[in-house]
Amino acid sequence: VVDIKSLYSQFGYFTYDPGFTSTASCRSDITFIDGDEGILLYRGYPIDQLAEKSSFLEVSYLLLYGELPTADQLSEFTSSITRHNMVNESLKNFFNGFHYDAHPMAMLTAVVGSLSAFYHESIDVNDPASREICAHRIIAKMPTISAAAFKHMIGEPFIYPQNTLSYTGNFLNMLFSRPNEDYEVNPIAEKALDQLLILHADHEQNASTSTVRLAGSTGTNPFAAIASGCAALWGPAHGGANEAVLNMLEEIGDVSNVPKFIDKAKDKEDPFRLMGFGHRVYKNYDPRATIIRKTCHEVLNELGMSNDPQLELAMRLEEIALQDEYFVERKLYPNVDFYSGIIYRALGIPTEFFTVLFALGRTPGWIAQWMEMSADPEQRIGRPRQIYTGAATRDYVSIDKR
Ligand code: ACO
pLDDT of residue 389: 85
Q: Does the beta carbon of 262 lie inside 6 Å of ligand 1? A: no
Residue 203 CA: nearest ligand 1 atom is 51
Q: Does the beta carbon of 332 lie inside 6 Å of ligand 1? A: yes
Q: Does the beta carbon of 238 lie inside 6 Å of ligand 1? A: yes
pLDDT of residue 235: 94
Print the SS3 string covering the chain: CEEEECCCCEEEEECCCHHHCCCCCCCCCCEEEECCCCEEEECCEEHHHHHHHCCHHHHHHHHHHCCCCCHHHHHHHHHHHHHCCCCCCCHHHHHHCCCCCCCHHHHHHHHHHHHHHHCCCCCCCCCHHHHHHHHHHHHHHHHHHHHHHHHHHHCCCCCCCCCCCCHHHHHHHHHHCCCCCCCCCCHHHHHHHHHHHHHHCCCCCCHHHHHHHHHHCCCCCHHHHHHHHHHHHCCCCCCCHHHHHHHHHHHHCCHHHHHHHHHHHHCCCCCCCCCCECCCCCCCCCHHHHHHHHHHHHHHHHCCCCCCHHHHHHHHHHHHHHCCHHHHHCCCCECCHHHHHHHHHHCCCCHHHHHHHHHHHHHHHHHHHHHHHHHCCCCCCCCCCCCCCCCCCCCCCCHHHC
Output the pTM of the full model: 0.92
Q: Does the beta carbon of 277 lie inside 6 Å of ligand 1? A: yes
Catalytic positions are: 279, 337
Distance (Å) from CA 274 to ligand 1 centroid: 8
List the chain residues with pLDDT less than 50: none
pLDDT of residue 29: 97
pLDDT of residue 7: 57
As a whole number of angstroms, the distance between CA 267 and CA 164 comes to 53
pLDDT of residue 14: 80
Q: Does the beta carbon of 242 lie inside 6 Å of ligand 1? A: no
* Residue of minimum CA distance from atom 24 in ligand 1: 280
* Residue of minimum CA distance from atom 28 in ligand 1: 280
pLDDT of residue 311: 86
Tens of pLDDT along 308-358?
A: 888 889 889 999 999 999 999 999 999 988 999 899 999 999 999 999 999
Q: Which of 243, 249, 263, 273 to mutate to test the pocket of ligand 1 (most atoms within 8 A of CB)?
A: 273
Residue 335 CA: nearest ligand 1 atom is 48
Distance (Å) from CA 278 to ligand 1 centroid: 5
Q: Crossing angle of helices 167-176/187-200, nearest 10°?
A: 110
* Residue of minimum CA distance from atom 21 in ligand 1: 330
Distance (Å) from CA 300 to ligand 1 centroid: 28
Distance (Å) from CA 71 to ligand 1 centroid: 42
Residue 245 CA: nearest ligand 1 atom is 44
* Residue of minimum CA distance from atom 49 in ligand 1: 238
pLDDT of residue 327: 94
pLDDT of residue 285: 86
Distance (Å) from CA 240 to ligand 1 centroid: 14
pLDDT of residue 227: 98
* Residue of minimum CA distance from atom 12 in ligand 1: 330
Distance (Å) from CA 140 to ligand 1 centroid: 34
Q: Does the beta carbon of 340 lie inside 6 Å of ligand 1? A: no
pLDDT of residue 2: 65
